[in-house]
Chain A
Amino acid sequence: MLGEGIVRGLAETARNFLGSFVSKERLTTVQFPEERLPQAEAARDFPFLVYDGEDWQAGMRCVACQICEKECPPKCIFIEKSKDKKPDALGRAQFYPARFDIDVSVCMSCQICVEVCPFEAIKMDTAFELSTDDRFGGLLWDRQKLALSDAHYHAIHPTDAAHTDELLAAEKAKAEARTKAAVAKASPAPMPQPPAPAAANEP
């Protein structure tokens, strides 16, 4: 009670005061708009829809299976299935989302939609400076706003994207093998089935 503890404390703060001028370990502040930390590869903010090729409408991987809509915890995804079908990357006729809206004011960036998607069609973006002055329209993203290219996906999540490509390639090979077998069995070829994981999810 003679003040030794207080003196020790004062010495410690003095050490930190001086240390903050010399050591980066101590002064960890990152002065944001000028300095930016590199983003972690696993970073996630809001989902986007991956499309292959140049045209976002033609190349969209999403087949409007609505699994993500059902699994989304805060129910921020809304999908309307198309009436007609369009060919996907493998050339098979698939439904596509006539509407795909995400309310990013509600989305909590949990990545569940990415995990449940059997088509590798929805992924997490890393853009985070998304403020807008339009509370209603500006935060309800439609499919055009959500569509981002596969190249963008490769740019932000290289490891993940490489893995996805492998999966898709395997899928493609399987589908081709199946088509070939089907062709060998009987021509004309029957309507190709959706890939296996989707089938597994039908309740």
Chain B
Amino acid sequence: MSSMTETTSAANDERSRKLTAGISEGQLLEVSMGPHHPSTHGVFRMDVVLDGERVVKLKPVVGYLHRNHEKIGENNSYLASMPYTDRLDYLCSLTNNWAYALAVETLAGIDVPERAQYLRVITAELTRLQNHSSVIGFLVQDMGASGTPLMYAFREREKILDLFESLTGSRMMCNYMRFGGCRIDLPAGWLDRAKKVVAGFPQFLDEYENLLGTNEILMARTQGIGALSRELAINAGVTGPLLRASGVNYDIRKVDKYGIYDRFDFKVPLGDNGDVYDRYMIRILEMRESIKILDQAMCDIPPGPIMDPKAKIRGFRPKAGEAYGRIEAPKGELGFYLISDGSGNPYRYRVRPPSFVNLTVLEDMCIGNYIADTIAILGSIDIVLGEVDR
């Protein structure tokens, strides 16, 4: 019960009141940052109240990209929702695919063959690499580095997207996984190319750390900014690198051991301060762990079928019931909750988007900081509006 007072959003109002005590209404500046703003990562809006440059109140406003994804899912067959999941978090379509496939497989009790599991791990970890690298690029870009870190990140990301293209036919909208396996097998020579890309990745990370790791300006801008306490992080349902930067050891790859993650030797980096710098560094360290997983997976991948022979592509109708399937997407816990009524379309198709839930604590982190910090904090949450607004 002790954590209750700290974690409620009433605490924010209290802090707001304290900060504005003795300041008349006319002295506060209300700024509507977004929906068209260079660093809101799409069409996101923050209604900010400023005292000078200090944020005293901040309300996130979302929904500009709302297309009622869940309703589309209810009106489409199970299979037809798969390409729509690509468009949720459009940077990581493969992990979205996996989460949805996992939920449907849980719902219908479908097994996934060994090779397909390995393919899923490889593609998901590659997705994590490319997502995290572009996130740290965007984060530093938001702090005013004129594109250089982002371009380095994109240079590496392109290599991974090329791999995705030659495997799935598309760079970003991969639409690769199916209920009970994956759509197509690896083309000839793909694994060797992937190994080369993965082998070159630590070099990029070293380069990146050289560029910014000890940069005094970056440290001054990020250390101690937007600290998120352990209790609040758990209570507010924050997941992913944000949660781990606050020192909570919770990685669904380790907790649920979905797929075949129990076979790989990797560690979960944890931060102690939960500030922007920790989130930035946790992502870099997570990439290094992902490289470890990739090395093992690409070494061990067995031959065999990639689809469960019992799985049906056409006319798929799971029995009535419900299932919640979740994975550790690069942004946090991505869950799909499906209710089947026995027909070809899900009765309820719910997405638990990590970046939407992570936005809950934006105000908590921003109040009392400068307006420039809100940008850095928002960048460190790593939101993708396709997923927030659905």
Binding site for B on A (CB under 8 A): 1, 3-6, 8-9, 11-13, 16, 26, 28, 40-44, 67, 70-73, 108-112, 115-116, 118, 124, 159, 197, 200-201, 203
Pair B80/A3 contact, Cβ less than 8 Å: no
Binds A, one of B24-32, B211-219, B273-281: B211-219
Binds A, one of B58-66, B166-174, B293-301: B166-174
List 20 additional contacts besides A8-B215, A40-B187, A72-B80; criterion CB under 8 Å. Answer: A4-B214, A5-B215, A8-B211, A9-B210, A9-B215, A13-B148, A26-B155, A28-B155, A44-B170, A67-B314, A71-B77, A71-B80, A71-B314, A73-B81, A109-B173, A110-B82, A111-B175, A112-B80, A118-B314, A159-B187
B234 at the A/B interface (Cβ < 8 Å)? no
B370 at the A/B interface (Cβ < 8 Å)? no
CA distance A84 to B219 in the complex (A): 75
Question: Within B136-195, which residues are at the interface with A (CB < 8 Å)?
Answer: 148, 152, 155, 158-159, 165-170, 173, 175, 183-184, 187
Pair A110/B175 contact, Cβ less than 8 Å: yes
Query: Which single residue of chain A is at the shortest CB-CB distance from B76?
Result: A73
Size category of the B interface is 35 or more
Query: Nearest Cβ in chain B — how far from A118, in angstroms?
Result: 8
Contacts of B207 in A (CB 8 A): 12, 16
With contact pairs A12-B207, A73-B83 given, residues A116 and B165 touching in the complex (Cβ less than 8 Å)? no
CA distance A108 to B90 in the complex (A): 13
Binding site for A on B (CB under 8 A): 76-77, 79-84, 86, 148, 152, 155, 158-159, 165-170, 173, 175, 183-184, 187, 207, 210-219, 313-315
Contacts of A12 in B (CB 8 A): 207, 210-211
CA distance A61 to B79 in the complex (A): 24
20 contacts between A and B (CB under 8 A): A5-B213, A5-B216, A8-B210, A8-B211, A8-B214, A9-B211, A9-B212, A12-B210, A16-B152, A40-B166, A41-B187, A42-B167, A42-B169, A43-B165, A43-B170, A44-B170, A73-B84, A112-B79, A159-B187, A200-B315
CA distance A130 to B219 in the complex (A): 48
CA distance A111 to B83 in the complex (A): 9
Contacts of A71 in B (CB 8 A): 77, 79-80, 314
Pair A201/B166 contact, Cβ less than 8 Å: no
Pair A5/B170 contact, Cβ less than 8 Å: no
Pair B187/A108 contact, Cβ less than 8 Å: no
Contacts of A67 in B (CB 8 A): 314
Pair B169/A111 contact, Cβ less than 8 Å: yes
Choose among B84, B159, B211, B213 the residue with the greatest number of A CB atoms under 10 Å from its CB.
Answer: B211
Query: Nearest Cβ in chain B — how far from A103, in angstroms?
Result: 16
Contacts of B167 in A (CB 8 A): 42
Choose among B158, B217, B313 the residue with the greatest number of A CB atoms under 10 Å from its CB.
Answer: B313
Query: Which single residue of chain A is at the shortest CB-CB distance from B220?
Result: A1
Query: Nearest Cβ in chain A — how far from B149, in angstroms?
Result: 10
Q: Which one of A6, A28, A124, A201 contacts B215 once the chains associate, using CB atoms below 8 Å?
A: A6
With contact pairs A44-B170, A71-B77, A116-B314 given, residues A108 and B210 touching in the complex (Cβ less than 8 Å)? no
Contacts of B166 in A (CB 8 A): 40-42
Query: Which single residue of chain B is at the shortest CB-CB distance from A39?
Result: B165
Query: Nearest Cβ in chain B — how far from A8, in angstroms?
Result: 5
Choose among B158, B169, B216 the residue with the greatest number of A CB atoms under 10 Å from its CB.
Answer: B169
Pair B187/A42 contact, Cβ less than 8 Å: yes
Query: Nearest Cβ in chain A — how far from B159, in angstroms?
Result: 8
Query: Which single residue of chain A is at the shortest CB-CB distance from B81?
Result: A73
Query: Which single residue of chain B is at the shortest CB-CB distance from A116?
Result: B314
Query: Nearest Cβ in chain B — how far from A53, in angstroms?
Result: 27
Pair A116/B169 contact, Cβ less than 8 Å: no
Contacts of A3 in B (CB 8 A): 216
CA distance A159 to B169 in the complex (A): 14
CA distance A16 to B86 in the complex (A): 34
